[in-house]
Amino acid sequence: MKKKIAGLMVTALMTVLMAGAALTGCGKSAGKQAILVVSFGTSYNDSRDKTIGAIENAIAKAYPDYEVRRAFTSQIIIDKLKERDGLEIDNVTEALDRAVADGVKTLVVQPTHLMDGYEYTDLKDELDKYNDKFDKIVIGAPLLTTDDDFEAVIKAITEKTASYDDGKTAIAFMGHGTEADSNAVYGKLQQMITADGYDNYYIGTVEATPSIDDVVAALNGKGTYEKVVLEPLMVVAGDHANNDMAGDEDDSWKSILEAEGYEVECLIEGLGQIEGVQALYVAHTGAAIESLK
C-alpha cells in the first residue's frame, strides 16, 4: 500500500511542479469554471500564507483551466482581518453569490477540513442551496477520508519529523478535536501510525479525546523518553498551536509536559506547509473534477 501511496503523491507533486498557473484573486475577471478553496481561516498572516495559501497555489498550478478562489468559514476571523489589516475575504455565502454573479458555470468546492465533521456537513448543506445556480457543482473530500489518505498523511508527517525519532524523543501531534462522530479519525490515525511501526508518535486533541492527559499517560507509561517534540495536527499553525500547544500558561501542552520533567520543543508549523499534504488536497480536487465528467 505504501508504494501505491508514494506513487500517487509523487504524481500529484509532479503535476504541481510542472504546471505554471498562479492563484487568481477574486478581483480578477472570472472564468466559466472555478475552484473555491474553503478554509476555517486564521488571523496569523504568516501561517495563512504558508499553509492555506500554499494549498491554494498548489491547486491552481495543478488545474490551470480553473480559476481558484478563497472563502473562510469563520466570520470572526473574516471580521478581524478586515478591521485589523483591511483584508477582505468572502465567507462561503458571499463566495457562492460572487461566483453566480460572475457567470461561473462549473464550480468545484475543495475544503481544507481534516475530516467529515460538523463544518464539512454545514458546507455541504450550504452548497445544496446553490444546486440550481450552476451547471455543475461538486465538493471535494476532506483530508482524512480513505485509508489511503491516512497512509499518505502518516508518510508526510513522519518523513518531516524523522530526524527527531531517536528512541528517546516522543513526537506528539495536537489536533483540534470535535464532538462529532468524526473525532474517531484521531484514534484511527494513532492506531495506523503505530501499526506502521512508528512507535514514538502520539496523537492528541485540544477539545476531545485522546486528550493531553491521555498523551502524558502514554509517554510516562513508555518510560524511556527524555524529550517531546510538539507539532499541530491542523492545517494552519494559529491560535491553538501558538497558545494551547506552545504557550507559557500552566495549561498549555508545553507547560504540562515540562512539569512532567520532559524537555519540550515546539514546531509551529501547520500541515498545509507539507508538500505531501498539499499534494493530497490536489488529488482530492482532481477526483472531484473527474466526477463531473
38, 202, 231, 264, 288 from 112: Cα distances, Å:
6, 23, 18, 29, 14
Q: Which amino acid, 238?
A: G
- Residue tagged 498523551 (cell numbers): 215
Catalytic residues: 176
Helices (H) and strands (E) in the chain, counts: 12, 8
- Enter the C-alpha cell of residue 66: 480553473
Give Cα 148 to chain centroid, integer Å. Answer: 16
Task: Determine the 3-state secondary structure of 51 from DSSP.
Answer: coil
- Among 36, 29, 21, which Cα is nearest to 73's? 36
Q: Residues near 181 by Cβ (< 8 Å), separated by ≥ 6?
A: none
- Among 110, 160, 114, which Cα is nearest to 283's? 110
- Enter the C-alpha cell of residue 46: 504568516
Adjacent-strand bridge partners of 174: 204, 232
Spell 34-46 as b/e; 16+ CB within 10 A means b: bbbbbbbbbbbee
Task: Determine the 3-state secondary structure of 91 from DSSP.
Answer: strand
Distance (Å, rounded) from C-alpha 45 to C-alpha 150?
28
Q: What share of the chain is helix, strand, coil (3-state, %, to 5)?
A: 50, 15, 35
